[in-house]
Amino acid sequence: MTLTARVFNDVADLPADFAVEHLPAMPHADGVLVCPPDDFDVIDVKNPYMAGQVGQVDRTLARRQWEALVTAFRDAGLRVERVPPTTACEDMVFTANQTFTGIDGAGKPLCLLSHMRHESRRREVPAFGEWFRARGWRIDDPTPATSLFEGGGDALWHPGRRAIWMGRGFRSSPGVDAVLAAAFEVPVFSLRLVDERFYHLDTCLSAIDEHTALIFPAAFDAQGLALLHRVFPRVVEVPEHEAERAMACNAAAFRGRYVVIERRAESTARKLQALGYRVLSVDTSEFMKSGGSVFCMKQVLFSA
């Protein structure tokens, strides 16, 4: 079965005998890229979580929380790389958004640059392009100039498989799913986001391993929900209060074993532990004031 470079919006688009095992294998990420929160702050309102939080960040506490998160990534067996912060880029700590990284059809690391919705965040992107270029990654910017694409916030790999999940509607434009499919030569499962509280895919979907996903169901339309349940044999639904107040679906999973998650997502953590995962709980409360948690604060890295 070949699904290369196709976009799937609905279960009806899939072959009748589809199974996740039909997707080609892909190495798991072995590292993460982070950015120190030197200038992290909430200075305006770009999403619903930022309302009422302007000037409310405890930057000393934020630094401690970020260092603890870095420790958790290392505890999960990851190498941790740092991109130097750009002065006056208060959101640069959320390193999932400026790029999307992966392995191309030739087996080489590829970095796609983002087209951010907000002007203040567009200033972050060049520093990431320079960082990846200096380390031998191929850099591409295939997104049409009139389209938006917010990198790893709206695109994530199906763990261990050559397939991408894409969220469209709030921060990434329709049609970018086809751009991703062509750039990486992989199938893309495209989901329409319908709740502004869950403006990025990484706020309502966490792919835990090739068979398991965490989701907040109300963030998707009926077609997207059906597609998630068809591709992932096991779907764990997150309660609304943990999806919104603890950003439970912004967990980050690694190598099919470790899950790093906000500590307030207690019932979700218990579910994951009961399924056999090693859960590493961290406090990201200062960063949630800006609408981000664990997944937002890292970009995945793949060895050449």
Predicted confidence at residue 304, as pLDDT, reads 64
User: How large is the average pLDDT for residues 10-29?
Assistant: 94
- pTM of the prediction? 0.97
**Catalytic residue selected from 35, 204, 249, 296:** 296
Q: Which two tokens stand for residue 291?
A: 């609408």
Please give the order of strands across the beta sheet that includes 278-282: 252-254, 258-262, 278-282
Nearest CA-CA partner of 268 in 250, 290, 286: 250
User: How large is the average pLDDT for residues 48-60?
Assistant: 97
What 3-state DSSP class applies to 206? Answer: strand
Burial class (CB within 10 angstroms; exposed 0-12, middle 13-18, buried 19+) of 291: buried
Predicted confidence at residue 3, as pLDDT, reads 81
**Tens digits of residue pLDDT in 173-202:** 999 999 999 999 999 999 999 999 999 999
**Tens digits of residue pLDDT in 232-289:** 999 999 999 999 999 999 999 999 999 999 999 999 999 999 999 999 999 999 999 9
**Is 90 exceeded by the pLDDT of residue 48?**
yes
Q: Which two tokens stand for residue 109?
A: 């690391």
Which residue did the predictor score with more confidence, 304 or 111? 111
User: How large is the average pLDDT for residues 46-72?
Assistant: 98
Query: Using CA atoms, how far apart are residues 62 and 48, in angstroms rounded to an integer?
Result: 20
Residue whose structure tokens are 């470790």 = 258
**Tens digits of residue pLDDT in 89-145:** 999 999 999 999 999 999 999 999 999 999 999 999 999 999 999 999 999 999 999
Q: Which two tokens stand for residue 220?
A: 């998707």
Query: In the chain, pLDDT over 70 holds for what percent of residues?
Result: 99
Question: How many Cβ atoms sit within 10 Å of the Cβ of residue 195?
Answer: 17
Query: Using CA atoms, how far apart are residues 66 and 34, in angstroms rounded to an integer?
Result: 9
Query: What average pLDDT does the chain have?
Result: 97
Pick the CATH number of 35-301 from 3.75.10.10, 3.30.230.10, 3.40.430.10, 1.10.287.70: 3.75.10.10
Active site annotation includes 111: no
**Tens digits of residue pLDDT in 195-208:** 999 999 999 999 99
**Catalytic residue selected from 111, 200, 204, 249:** 200
**Is 80 exceeded by the pLDDT of residue 1?**
no
Predicted confidence at residue 260, as pLDDT, reads 98
Active site annotation includes 296: yes
Predicted confidence at residue 278, as pLDDT, reads 98
Query: Using CA atoms, how far apart are residues 141 and 214, in angstroms rounded to an integer?
Result: 30
Nearest CA-CA partner of 183 in 123, 239, 99: 99
Query: Using CA atoms, how far apart are residues 19 and 294, in angstroms rounded to an integer?
Result: 29
Predicted confidence at residue 2, as pLDDT, reads 62
